[in-house]
Chain A
Amino acid sequence: MISARVSQLRSAYPLVVVGAGPAGMAAALGATEAGSAPVLMIDREPEPGGILNQCIHTGFGLHHFKEELTGPEYAQRYLESLLEHDIDISTDSDVVDVDRERRVTLMSPDHGVRTISAGAVLLCMGARERTRGAIRIPGTRPAGVMTAGTAQKLVNLLGYLPGRRAVILGSGDIGLIMARRLTLEGVEVCGVFEIMPHPNGLSRNIVQCLHDFDIPLHLSTTVVEIHGSDRVERVTVAPVDEETWPCLDKAWDIACDTLLVSIGLIPENELSLTLGLRIDPLTQGPEVDSTMHTSREGVFAAGNVVHIHDIVDYVSQEALLAGRSAAAFVSRRMPPADNIRLLPGDNVAYCVPQTISTDREHTIYLRVRHPLEESLLRLGDVYERKLRYVVPGEMVSLKLRPGVLDRFHGDALRIDILPREED
């Protein structure tokens, strides 16, 4: 597998997919299965698979394949399906421009600078990690401060240990996974620090990544200073008050040579901005309709570039839809435009897609702002559903069958997630 590099690029493809990670692979598959071929996938890494290649832990595919796979296994299953279709993959290739006539310019050692015309473009660029700079940790700027994902690439693909004694800031799943990973490779992990009063990752990861190895988790505590001239020598940590202000009188120092930050992801939308796509300020990704069509004709988007997903299975599902839609666009079989705008209301941080149609089945993804034990999802006054519990770290998905909106004749629907009295 993974050696499907093309020696010759065509000058035009019905479909060009930017990014060959989980979203790009599922989108390409969706498009070819819907009859659109050939498809060109472009990725800047030496092989397709995206972040899955370095996520060697298990936990992928429970929804999609009904079994628990590692990241590389999940990627390989998709690639094997892809290679049965007419798909060209251009690796080691950076897409430097997509213009409004859907001309995609790439740059690579194999092909030089090439501009390719696309019938439709699928944006599947994924996300980047927030760095130390994003939260402005004071102190010096020594080596040894990096994102959890960078450390993951160093350890799992490139075979380097980032240090000998590490502190991890942020209790998101990537931070927790890396706490275990470093421990398994013989790095001492002094602790995971989380500014919020509750952990950010799944509870199963708290158990199997931290408890299993006696790694302490310090809630309501953050890193307030980094020390060291060439290399990290120590960090200062301090508890925070209810407004997350550090209580410096209670600060303490931890000797370490490495600080991993795992403090969230940002959709990677440079190309979307170049294209002038409408960006939703809530998701920081392109606005999409119920077919994953963006605000520019013939440009579709899916995966973490649209909004940050918790699990890859949902990325695949969303991208499959985007791929099918792009194929429909190319063959001029697009369904009628959406007629309802969704408005995030009480306790809804965002929802995707931003518009829906009354005559189709939809899956709406949304994220809450704060946790609720027993809650009620309300869609205007046309639909209600009880939810067991909601937390910001876990996306809520809502499947809407076509009949549900029959009685609705407006053009905007508000989504609220409200507290519910115990039954």
Chain B
Amino acid sequence: MPAAIDDHAFTHYLCIGCPLGCRLEVEEGTEHDIIEIRGFACQKGKEFAEREHTDPRRMLATTVGIEGARWPRLPVKTRTEIPKDLVLDLCRSLREVTARAPVRLGEVVVANALDTGVDIVATRDMPEA
């Protein structure tokens, strides 16, 4: 690690890209500009550090209610990552959602959830019971 420069900020993240769990460091200059990213073992890690520093995002996998199926819950996920701050809000809003069997894997259950531009899709087929 280089000698700390007084007015530079160093933030540390743990990469969640794969089970390796690289310890990442982001060095930020006085203008909140990223000077350097260290500690990654692959390009995905570098991209994760940059994203985590500027606009942290997560996949959300959860369930919604479903009627007429074998199980009362249907597993769903966000098609792509959404801003981390919205994860709990999105979960709360999904508690009001009830799907109706049959549902196919990949089918959109909620379009453009919370105006993120991201759809909520089913992660399995759920035939009628």
Contact = CB atoms under 8 A, between A and B. Distances in A.
B91 A56 contact: no
Interface stretch (A23-31, A155-163, A263-271, A345-353): A155-163
Contact of A73 (B14, B84, B123): B123
Given A2-B127, A70-B123, A204-B16, A157 B73 contact: yes
A185 B91 contact: yes
Contacts of A71: 75
Interface size class of B (residues with CB under 8 A): 20 to 34
A62 interface: yes
Contacts of A88: none
A159 B127 contact: no
A3 interface: yes
Given A2-B125, A202-B21, A207-B14, A159 B105 contact: no
Interface in B1-60: 13-19, 21, 58-60
Contact of B127 (A3, A53, A183): A3
Contact of A159 (B15, B17, B73): B73
The interface centre, meaning the residue of B17, B19, B70 with most chain A CB atoms within 10 A of its CB, is B19
A124 B63 CA distance: 28
A212 interface: yes
Contacts of A2: 125, 127
Nearest to B88: A184
B96 to A, nearest CB: 13
The interface centre, meaning the residue of B17, B63, B95 with most chain A CB atoms within 10 A of its CB, is B63
Contacts of B19: 202, 204, 310-311, 394
B101 to A, nearest CB: 12
A151 to B, nearest CB: 13
Nearest to B16: A204
A1 B61 contact: no
B75 A56 contact: yes
The interface centre, meaning the residue of A72, A157, A186 with most chain B CB atoms within 10 A of its CB, is A72
Interface string A55-87: 011100010000010111101100000000000
B75 A156 contact: yes
B109 to A, nearest CB: 13
Interface string A316-329: 00000000000000
A197 to B, nearest CB: 18
A156 B77 contact: no
Interface string B100-121: 0000010000000000000000
B16 A156 contact: no
Contacts of B14: 203-204, 206-207
Interface in A1-16: 1-3
29 contacts: A1-B125, A47-B70, A56-B75, A56-B77, A58-B77, A62-B18, A70-B75, A70-B77, A72-B75, A72-B124, A73-B123, A75-B124, A155-B63, A156-B63, A158-B71, A159-B63, A159-B73, A184-B60, A184-B91, A185-B62, A185-B91, A203-B14, A204-B16, A204-B18, A204-B19, A204-B21, A206-B14, A208-B16, A212-B87
Contacts of B16: 204, 207-208
B73 A158 contact: yes
Contacts of A276: none
A17 B27 CA distance: 55
